[in-house]
Structure 1
């Protein structure tokens, strides 16, 4: 079993977090159980985080900062820790996504990651049978913080109608997820459109893709398969993908009609009267 004092703080953000947590705790003369009492968790959890056996959450980090007076250090560090929990092949995209000024995405199978509820994300991530589901889930929720910024990216999301009908996690989870989409439909910097079945064939039959635009960086085209992600800044590729996306938006329902369809599917397929959580 790893001990915090034997950790190499330069090995990873998680190692650095655990090393600093123990150093700061001991500097305040606190045992793990005592710090746990102060921040309303068990001493065992504190120990597991100090030895990198558990990934810290943002809530945990904020409580530690308040308890130890560390001026937001752990709250700042936890973002790096959580991002490091993402699959290695996905991390470059996540870093670009976090700085994008404009996000345009088409999703054929699932709700876009930035719009997923925690329960929906858990059900999706569990299909990959990961070793650390909780770490991956926390990392996905952390990605969504870009939508809470004072100046969030302008996000345009086109969802295939199939996304609304596929019961990921069961009816209860879908009811919550579709309600979340309706909340986002009123967001100033968010446009959600549904591509209806009646649109027939379209340029993105090959699958989902995302376009990222930046104020000070070359634009990015991103797609992924079952194993890995693929990202390119090739201008011709981005131009062609942008044309495809424009066709998708033109074929999709308007924002208002999309919200009406989401609300109808929510009521007719995932209503509370016969829902199974």
Structure 2
């Protein structure tokens, strides 16, 4: 089971939530597996809640209040613990991203957030949040760039990105921003041995993946999960049969893509074209 001893319960709302789950569970003499059975999840998941690895969910909090007889205690704590720098629909995936061993991502239209330059990210967020104040835009840009720290950490994930050629051809922020962005992707792909980049060319035609941006994540201590996203919404998929289907679709798409070196050469060539505009 996940160990959480030594965590300061007052470090954050999430650690306090986990400490409260552990306190109520141990008061009744229940194991993590026993509590998991009562709220329809695994003991491992309970351990991850107690260790503040997983963000609590409102539905799970209602069940915990029911089995513990704690009124709305965990539901109230849940609202505090779910506060995040990221959009609520992405926040759970952002937490899992930090723990992933491998992230296999397909990008149909835009450069993935983990590879975006500041100028590219700001152009995207500014357009998507056109009616929001500037400080909101800046906060979202900063949060996106902070996520990229995992790519430089020794224990960070292996990132395998497949980008449709449309990503290279869709201008975001103008030619200068695109040239900088594509050069950055190519540089990371060449310099970081834990980042692999492939391009699905237009000539590949229909593929298993032509829809939403999708990231498959695998972990050393938990089952795999998939996150899919479209405009202003996203979904974390943990149903094993669905996760398997997403992974197979990704594998088929990767097989239809250009090899890594050819992909990097194409990205560099398109970046050079942008410098001429």
Number of the residue aligned with 2:142:
138
Number of the residue aligned with 2:124 = 124
Which whole-Å CA distance do the structure 1 matches of 2:139 and 2:260 have between them?
34
Cα distance in 2 for residues equivalent to 1:218 and 1:113: 23
Q: Which residue of 1 aligns with 2:262?
A: 257
1:244 is aligned, of 249, 253, 261, to 249
Q: Secondary structure at the match of 2:215?
A: strand
Counterpart residue number, 1:232: 237
Q: TM-score, normalised by structure 2?
A: 0.67
Tell me by how many angstroms 1:10 deviates: 9.4
Q: CA-to-partner distance for each residue in 1:80-134, whole Å, 9 max, x for gaps?
A: xxx8221122111100111111000000010010000000000111112233011
Which segments of 5 or more consecutive residues in structure 1 lack a partner in the other structure?
1-8, 14-82
2:208 to 195, 200, 203: 203
1:193 aligns with 2:198: yes
CA distance in 2, matches of 1:229, 1:196: 26
Q: Is the aligned partner of 1:220 residue 2:207?
A: no
User: Counterpart of 2:100?
Assistant: 100
CA distance in 1, matches of 2:11, 2:259: 50
What corresponds to 2:18 in structure 1? none
Over 3 Å counting, the alpha-carbon distance change for 1:10 and 1:147 in structure 2 is closer
Aligned to 1:57: none
Cα shift at 1:173? 0.6
CA distance in 2, matches of 1:204, 1:241: 9
Conservation of the 8 A alpha-carbon contact between 2:98 and 2:156: no
Match of residue 150 from structure 1:
154
CA contact (8 A) 2:180 2:271 kept: no
Supply the distance in 2 between the matched residues of 1:136 and 1:265 (Cα, whole angstroms).
Answer: 28
Per-residue CA distance 1:153-206 (angstroms, 9 max, x = gap): 111000000100111001111111011011111110011000000000011122
State the partner residue of 2:91.
91
SS in 2 for 1:188: coil
| Partner SS, residue 266 of structure 1 | helix
CA distance in 2, matches of 1:206, 1:114: 19
SS at match of 1:90: helix
Partners of 2:254 and 2:210 in 1: CA distance:
14
Paired residues of 2:103 and 2:215 also in contact (CA < 8 A): yes
Q: How many residues are matched?
A: 195
Structure 2: runs of 5+ lacking an equivalent: 1-9, 15-82
Q: For 1:65-80, list aligned pairs within 5 A.
A: none
SS at match of 2:155: coil
My pick for the range that moved more, 137-146 or 199-208, is 199-208
Over aligned residues, Cα RMSD in angstroms?
1.9
Q: Shift of residue 233 of structure 1?
A: 1.3
Q: What TM-score does the superposition give when structure 1 sets the normalisation length?
A: 0.67
Structure 1 position 263, deviation (Å): 1.2
Taking structure 1 as reference, are residues 228 and 263 closer, same or farther at Cα in structure 2, changes over 3 Å only?
Answer: same
